[in-house]
Each structure stands twice: as C-alpha cells, then as structure tokens.
Amino acid sequence: MPFTTCRAPLACLLLAAAGWLAGCAALDAPRVDSYPVTGQKKVHAIHHWDVIAQDVATRVAERIASWPQGEHPIHVSAAEPSEFNEGFVKLLRVHLLDRGVALSVTPSAVELRVQTQLVDPAGRGARGDAAGGPTRTEVLVTTTLTNEDLYLTGTADMYYIERADAALYVPPPPPPPAPVVKTWKVVTP
C-alpha cells in the first residue's frame, strides 16, 4: 500500500508545509539589493539657494560656451510660483550674467525653466534619520534649457529640506473666494 494514514495530522501538516516552503525558497527570483550609501546635501538657508544657483549657472554656461556671444539670449523663468522659485530665479539670473551669458527680459526663443518637486515620504509612513536629523522631506530642483520644442540641456539636483520649510517650495494656496454680497433695498408702499 503506497499511502498510509497519518496518525498525527498536525505533525503531517507541518511537515508538508515545511517541505512546500523549502521548495519556494529555491525559486529563481532576484534578491533585493540596496543602492550604495551616498551623500545628499540639506538646504538650511537662503544662502544654500545661492550656492545651488551658482552651481546651475556654471553648468549651463559650460554647456552653451560654444554659442556665439549674445546671439541667443536666454529668458529665465519658473514653472510655478513659490518663494523658492522666485528667489532662485533671481539668483540664477545674477550668476548667469556673472558668467557672461546673455539674458532676455522678455520671453525669447531660448528658455531656461526652473521646476521644483516636493517629495514628502512622511505622508506615506516612511521613517528614518538622514543628514544629521530626522529628514523625510526632499526637493527635486530641475532646469531645462529649450529652444521652441527642443530640449537643449538640463540639470537635476536633489536636496533634503526640513519639513517645516516645505511651504517655500510649493505654490501658495489660491485666495479664498470673494464673499457673496447681497444688497437689500427697503421700499415703502
């Protein structure tokens, strides 16, 4: 008789489950690997915005160094209004001018556009310490240099920020709607 009845059903069940799990452990599934540990700067002050603007201006100026001087003036703008974008665009303009880049006051064929994206994993339950303290909020700062419908070059940088500073990197909330005003006129019969 090839099959016999198991006298201890729980023991047989546990033995079968252990065999099944051992078989699953040998699947050809890739293992999870983490990225190597790297550093990431943390923005603490407006001075750091200036340091970032200097770095971006240097990289943009290097990439357009072969352009004829002044032939393609660049208009610098931000995709959305925020305190960071407003200050960063001003600083970036100054540092581009310091590097001899011709800028346009009005929109032109060549546009350098600044965009920021706030990433707050704390809203998704992430925990952890980074950059000398509890940091769960990051900002992605990108610039794209375009000519009409062509991307010419760009930069992308990531920074830690304090969660309390997150409002500096997002557009302000819209103003509240105007109150409804009703006018009543009293007339005598």
What pLDDT score does 132 carry? 45
* pLDDT tens, position by position, 159-187: 999 988 999 999 988 888 888 887 778 88
User: CB–CB of 131/40 below 8 Å?
Assistant: yes
CA distance 63 to 20: 59
User: CB–CB of 105/69 below 8 Å?
Assistant: no
The answer, yes or no, to whether residue 4 has pLDDT greater than 70, is no
What global pTM score does this model have? 0.71
What pLDDT score does 12 carry? 67
In the chain, domain spans: 42-117+141-156
The amino acid at 65: A
What pLDDT score does 73 carry? 95
Q: Which CATH architecture has domain 42-117+141-156?
A: 2-Layer Sandwich (3.30)
Residue for token pair 């915005």: 49
The answer, yes or no, to whether residue 20 has pLDDT greater than 70, is no
